Homo-oligomer: A and B are copies of this chain.
């Protein structure tokens, strides 16, 4: 454990990583094996259920990116308290819920109820983003729980990044009522954006490299 780091943040991270790994791997059990009827082929039926694969891919990407961002953030969070623990449980509650709206999306993406399914899906991601932002704001405000040596510009850049993400996911939620495809495209673009290097990441690493290991 690094000097000054509370071992409790380590256990929160390990537990969260377990939940991420399980939620991401459970996504596959929502994909059903097709039952063939007279005059259909397995290949045809498998192609028919493309929304299941699409939901699998998008949700896998989302949870993977959430995992990476959660982990990156806990490199800055050096101490924990009961509020952080509680906010993190609420945040995990959203992440572990994702397989349900994914199954919903798979079943209803092709029908007349696709707006409702898309809105529940995007809405779940938006609520997840809200709790992630709250977690960060709680930890970062007045350097309550984060590393006191962090550059204030970096802290503010992070806050902007998460507030932007939260607003963008809320927009995807609203967009689902108008155009589900556009909403899903926005969600994928957001995941790809959030897998990119963070602002100031290079500067931070450089600083660490110059310290004795």
Contact = CB atoms under 8 A, between A and B. Distances in A.
Interface of A: 3, 11, 14-15, 17-29, 31, 33, 36, 41-43, 46, 56-57, 60-61, 64-65, 67-68, 71, 82, 85-86, 89, 92-93, 96-97, 99-100, 103-104, 107-108, 113, 116-117, 120, 195-197, 213
Contacts of A85: 68, 195
A116 B43 contact: yes
Contact of A92 (B46, B64, B195): B64
B42 A100 contact: no
A113 B41 contact: yes
Contact of A18 (B22, B89, B93): B22
Nearest to A96: B25
How many copies are assembled? Answer: 4
B67 A15 contact: yes
Contacts of A19: 21, 24-25
Contacts of A61: 89, 93
A103 to B, nearest CB: 5
Given A60-B96, A117-B42, A26 B24 contact: no
A213 to B, nearest CB: 7
Given A17-B14, A82-B197, A28 B89 contact: no
Contacts of A89: 60-61, 64-65, 68, 195
Given A33-B104, A60-B92, 9 more contacts: A15-B17, A18-B25, A19-B24, A22-B26, A33-B107, A43-B116, A46-B116, A60-B89, A60-B93
Contact of A57 (B67, B93, B100): B93
A24 B71 CA distance: 20
A202 to B, nearest CB: 11
Contacts of A100: 28, 31, 33
Contacts of A36: 113
Contacts of A108: 42
A20 B117 CA distance: 30
